[in-house]
């Protein structure tokens, strides 16, 4: 994370931050940015570019900070492992498909046609899931020397989005749908063999439970396995 930024990561960071600065300080442009660049009712009226442009239009500072840190960390790691094209494709495809899911589910189930969505939170979630898929059990050092496996870090971000969608006065089904789409794109797009790897992991877990395999390591086994 502390390494030198690649041109692609730098360009994404500048684009996200610069557009928010325009939104923040050039107040006359706000209605146009919200109405035509963020994802909203205009999408169903023919403004089909909104799922893409919404990735760069943040309406609040908190999502912007998360997006910048996510692009800096997860985006840089994915680009280093899979190349610039794959990283950009994951960011754009995951973000656009998640925005489409948000718009469609929100229109039918919860928000109606009046919801406004801006920011790259779901695109960044796609990068984090791809990051966890690529690096798997590799320990990642966070601030303060705390270490966590890459896959658990990705799971934590997905879980945070799910909890946030469930925590309101009503279930945010649109955000849940967008989270599921972003996670799916990140998982299957981050590395090849996604379905095979998922099936093998489930198969191994089922066999371990069937034959009551005792986990190794320093932890003590349950009492029913003691001699």
pLDDT at 146: 79
Query: Does residue 181 lie in a domain region?
Result: yes
Query: Does residue 200 lie in a domain region?
Result: no
The CA–CA distances, whole Å, from 202 to 103, 189, 198, 208 equal: 32, 20, 6, 10
Mean pLDDT of 124-147: 88
Query: Does residue 227 lie in a domain region?
Result: no
User: What is the chain's Cα-based Rg?
Assistant: 20
pLDDT at 227: 44
C-alpha span between 21 and 226 (Å, rounded): 63
Predicted confidence (pLDDT) per residue in 58-108, tens digit: 999 999 999 999 999 999 999 999 999 999 999 999 999 999 999 999 887
Query: Does residue 160 lie in a domain region?
Result: yes
pLDDT at 63: 92
Q: How far is CA 13 from the centre of its chain?
A: 16
- CATH number of residue 137's parent domain: 1.20.1540.10
Q: Which of 144, 132, 130 is nearest to 92 (CA)?
A: 130
Structure confidence at residue 113 as a pLDDT band (50, 70, 90): low
Q: What DSSP element (H or E) covers 144? A: none
Residue 20 burial class via C-beta count within 10 angstroms: exposed 0-12, middle 13-18, buried 19 and up: buried
- Please tell me the pTM assigned to this model: 0.82
Query: Does residue 20 lie in a domain region?
Result: yes
Query: Does residue 201 lie in a domain region?
Result: no
Instruction: Flag whether pLDDT at 160 surpasses 90.
Output: yes
Top-confidence residue, 145 or 197: 145
Query: Does residue 179 lie in a domain region?
Result: yes
**Token couple for 7:** 């041109």
Looking at the 3D structure of the chain, how many domains does it have?
1
C-alpha span between 208 and 139 (Å, rounded): 24
Structure confidence at residue 199 as a pLDDT band (50, 70, 90): low
Query: Does residue 26 lie in a domain region?
Result: yes
% of the chain with per-residue pLDDT over 90 = 64
Q: What is the dihedral of CA 50, 53, 54, 56, to 10 degrees?
A: 180
For residue 123, what are the domain limits?
7-195
Top-confidence residue, 4 or 176: 176
């Amino acid at each position: 994370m502390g390494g030198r930024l690649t041109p692609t990561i730098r360009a994404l960071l500048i684009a996200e931050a610069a557009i928010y600065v325009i939104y923040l300080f050039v107040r006359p442009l706000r209605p146009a940015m919200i109405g035509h660049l963020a994802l909203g009712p205009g999408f169903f009226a023919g403004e089909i570019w909104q799922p893409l442009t919404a990735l760069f239009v943040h309406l609040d500072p908190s999502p912007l900070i998360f997006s910048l840190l996510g692009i800096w960390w997860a985006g840089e790691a994915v680009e280093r492992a899979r190349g610039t094209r794959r990283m950009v494709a994951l960011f754009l495809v995951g973000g656009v498909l998640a925005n489409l899911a948000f718009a469609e589910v929100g229109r039918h189930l919860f928000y109606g046609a009046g919801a406004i969505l801006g920011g790259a939170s779901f695109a960044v979630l796609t990068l984090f899931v791809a990051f966890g898929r690529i690096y798997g059990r590799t320990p990642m050092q966070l601030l303060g020397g705390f270490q966590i496996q890459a896959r658990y870090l990705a799971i934590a971000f997905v879980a945070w989005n799910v909890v946030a969608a469930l925590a309101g006065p009503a279930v945010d089904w649109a955000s849940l749908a967008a989270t599921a789409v972003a996670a799916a794109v990140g998982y299957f797009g981050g590395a090849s063999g996604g379905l095979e790897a998922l099936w093998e992991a489930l198969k191994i877990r089922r066999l371990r439970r069937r034959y009551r395999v005792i986990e190794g390591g320093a932890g003590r086994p349950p009492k029913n396995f003691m001699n």
